Chain A
């Protein structure tokens, strides 16, 4: 049980009418503390399902998932919520900030649900905002910030609860390339400081910023190794299908 994330023989099967769709077809992934891993795949490869399971937003049909030594693969809704709150920090493509709350209140949310008292909450949230360089915007509403700034707020929110794993789902997808590079550089910096980061993307040029790439196709792992290996970025041959993004 030395791995931080340990997925063993995970299947996720959706029933669509008469046919069963194997979104994940028996994958096993181990991720250690302090790694920066990119999970890459085209749409339909199962990477989103994989991220939902790693993020405790969903449970596998079969297989086991140990997060920090705890079996989370069979947990109930509310138990998963607690795991998400304590161990995971999410960064989404669409930032997913709550528009009615100020920047500070948004960053405080995970601490609110963990039951921290208001002074601790404020302190930790301000610290996280300082880290992303947006402490001066704490009273603003998200809509008053640029896309890059909003994504930095969502990074601050992911950091505020001091999670074991930061899960970034296409974090640069909605940003122009320059701001996207800044966000990636920031994730690399967080990784150098010791944070475990799992990045989900369809884009090889982004995936190569990680140390390790796990490539999924049709619900199976087709590559798992260092990002600088040439095989990591080879597109699997899929005739007649274009990557939509």
Chain B
């Protein structure tokens, strides 16, 4: 029995009874569509998370120091020294001082978050400037009243022409020397860096009443150096503070992999649940194939009387089941991809349907048809030609 004829016959019978075919394929369509939708949205979410991490710096190490008392502290000089002593693993360091400050431009108060940082911040995190410059060593050293502002602040306070203008931070006048590129083209103060105001950390400590600096950002020289850098930082902090209770070092790469594990597990569970509907779809196909074998008993008898062997009959019905589920799979893929494109923007994810997911979904749907078509096909193959010919 030729493959093309079986295939053509299968397509023909799919087209002749459209309603029945649609109902037969529905399980497969829903299963494949939901798998594609989940994978597309999941991949989109992963891409988004990864790019956020990249923006924060993939080799970033965040250090939090919780000094028990004033005698055991860590100074910025000690941290800079630590970096200098480990040039192979630590690329850069910057203190990170959060200031609760009121930021005003003219008479308006801005919803801004003020951070005191070192001049090395751009080599730790991505800080893209659209104009001006970032803080220099001299700004930090001489405690200059200068600041680098996010795109949203620039837009809100100065209509996009903030360079050289001035802001008032807790009443002190700061000159804008640089403007950071908008991270979210739509604008808005939600994005990570768009409402940032960076000032020299020396100024920030003074604004905080000369409190000790409790937070530092390090960057490792490479992906491979992350663990070594972390170890170097931890051993120095333990030596300085006398206990490992008083500090915490979080590596961004660790967080990325933890995050990846979590999203991976969630995806697997979701895909498995959607896969159940593929199973149900397969059973639906088996059901209809069993009916079809009974309806076509006479045809099977005719074919057998003309010399069709068991394998010819089996192959014909398996191809038919495979074709049905493959067509269902294609419809499901189209539906899933379009749903992902439609739903993605609603939840703020750029859905990415991977070719691999599509190919695998198609393969699985054909496989489901073949596996669940086997039993009915085998029943057909085993029919006795005399009984089958006599069947009405």
- Which segment, of A79-87, A187-195, A196-204, A223-231, faces chain B? A79-87
Q: Contacts A57-B386, A112-B5, A113-B1 hold; do A82 and B298 have CB atoms under 8 A apart?
A: no
Interface centre among B298, B307, B385, B389 (most CB of A within 10 A): B307
B308 at the interface (CB under 8 A from A): yes
- Contact check, A82 vs B306: say whether CB atoms are below 8 A apart: no
Which residue of B1, B9, B12, B309 contacts A78 across the interface (Cβ within 8 Å)? B309
- Contact check, A113 vs B385: say whether CB atoms are below 8 A apart: no
- Contact check, B310 vs A84: say whether CB atoms are below 8 A apart: no
Residues on the A chain within 8 Å of B389, using CB: 57, 92, 96
Residues on the B chain within 8 Å of A15, using CB: none
A71 at the interface (CB under 8 A from B): no
Q: Contacts A52-B386, A58-B386 hold; do A84 and B307 have CB atoms under 8 A apart?
A: yes
B156 at the interface (CB under 8 A from A): no
* Prevailing SS type, chain A contact patch: helix
- Which residues in window 45-98 of A have CB below 8 A to B? 52, 55, 57-58, 77-78, 81-82, 84-86, 90, 92, 96-98
Q: How long is the Cα–Cα vector from A92 to B385 in the complex, in angstroms?
A: 13
A114 at the interface (CB under 8 A from B): yes
Residues on the B chain within 8 Å of A86, using CB: 307
B303 at the interface (CB under 8 A from A): yes
B117 vs chain A, min Cβ distance (A): 76
- Across the A-B interface, how many residue pairs have beta carbons closer than 8 Å? 62
B299 at the interface (CB under 8 A from A): yes
Residues on the A chain within 8 Å of B310, using CB: 77-78, 81
A215 at the interface (CB under 8 A from B): no
Q: Contacts A57-B385, A57-B386, A118-B2 hold; do A109 and B309 have CB atoms under 8 A apart?
A: no
Q: How long is the Cα–Cα vector from A85 to B307 in the complex, in angstroms?
A: 4
Residues on the B chain within 8 Å of A82, using CB: 307, 309
- Contact check, A113 vs B13: say whether CB atoms are below 8 A apart: no
**Quick one: closest A residue to B301, CB to CB?**
A96
Residues on the A chain within 8 Å of B312, using CB: 113
Q: How long is the Cα–Cα vector from A62 to B298 in the complex, in angstroms?
A: 28
Q: Contacts A58-B386, A98-B299 hold; do A110 and B306 have CB atoms under 8 A apart?
A: yes
A178 at the interface (CB under 8 A from B): no
- Contact check, B306 vs A109: say whether CB atoms are below 8 A apart: yes
- Which residues in window 124-168 of A have CB below 8 A to B? 157, 161
- Contact check, B13 vs A100: say whether CB atoms are below 8 A apart: yes
A91 vs chain B, min Cβ distance (A): 11
A130 vs chain B, min Cβ distance (A): 20
Which residue of B299, B304, B306, B385 contacts A157 across the interface (Cβ within 8 Å)? B306
- Contact check, A81 vs B1: say whether CB atoms are below 8 A apart: no
- Which residues in window 25-54 of A have CB below 8 A to B? 52
Q: How long is the Cα–Cα vector from A85 to B302 in the complex, in angstroms?
A: 12
Q: How long is the Cα–Cα vector from A109 to B6 in the complex, in angstroms?
A: 12
B305 at the interface (CB under 8 A from A): yes
- Contact check, A112 vs B1: say whether CB atoms are below 8 A apart: yes
B99 vs chain A, min Cβ distance (A): 80
Which residue of B298, B299, B305, B309 contacts A90 across the interface (Cβ within 8 Å)? B305
Q: How long is the Cα–Cα vector from A52 to B5 in the complex, in angstroms?
A: 29
B326 vs chain A, min Cβ distance (A): 20
Q: Contacts A112-B1, A112-B2 hold; do A90 and B306 have CB atoms under 8 A apart?
A: yes
B21 vs chain A, min Cβ distance (A): 15
A114 vs chain B, min Cβ distance (A): 6
**Quick one: closest B residue to A99, CB to CB?**
B299
Residues on the B chain within 8 Å of A55, using CB: 305
A62 vs chain B, min Cβ distance (A): 19
Residues on the A chain within 8 Å of B299, using CB: 98
Interface centre among B5, B298, B305 (most CB of A within 10 A): B305
Q: How long is the Cα–Cα vector from A118 to B3 in the complex, in angstroms?
A: 12
**Quick one: closest A residue to B382, CB to CB?**
A77
Interface centre among A101, A109, A157 (most CB of B within 10 A): A109
Q: How long is the Cα–Cα vector from A119 to B22 in the complex, in angstroms?
A: 36
Q: How long is the Cα–Cα vector from A109 to B9 in the complex, in angstroms?
A: 13
Q: Contacts A57-B386, A96-B298, A113-B312 hold; do A105 and B5 have CB atoms under 8 A apart?
A: yes
- Contact check, A57 vs B305: say whether CB atoms are below 8 A apart: yes
Residues on the A chain within 8 Å of B302, using CB: 96-98, 109
Q: How long is the Cα–Cα vector from A85 to B311 in the complex, in angstroms?
A: 15
A50 vs chain B, min Cβ distance (A): 13
**Quick one: closest B residue to A169, CB to CB?**
B389
B296 vs chain A, min Cβ distance (A): 9
- Contact check, A113 vs B306: say whether CB atoms are below 8 A apart: yes
Q: How long is the Cα–Cα vector from A77 to B310 in the complex, in angstroms?
A: 8
B134 vs chain A, min Cβ distance (A): 74
Interface centre among B299, B304, B306 (most CB of A within 10 A): B306
Contact with A along B147-185 (1 / 0, CB 8 A): 000000000000000000000000000000000000000
A161 vs chain B, min Cβ distance (A): 8
- Contact check, B1 vs A100: say whether CB atoms are below 8 A apart: no
B16 vs chain A, min Cβ distance (A): 8
Closest 6 A/B residue pairs (Cβ): A85-B307, A113-B307, A78-B309, A110-B306, A81-B309, A96-B302
**Given A58-B386, A77-B309, A98-B302, 13 other A-B residues pairs in contact with their CB atoms under 8 A:** A78-B309, A78-B311, A81-B307, A81-B308, A81-B309, A81-B310, A82-B309, A85-B307, A92-B389, A101-B9, A110-B306, A112-B5, A114-B307
Between-chain CB contacts (< 8 Å), 22 pairs? A57-B385, A57-B386, A57-B389, A77-B309, A78-B309, A81-B310, A92-B389, A96-B298, A96-B302, A96-B389, A97-B302, A98-B299, A98-B302, A98-B303, A100-B9, A109-B302, A109-B306, A112-B1, A112-B2, A113-B308, A113-B312, A157-B306
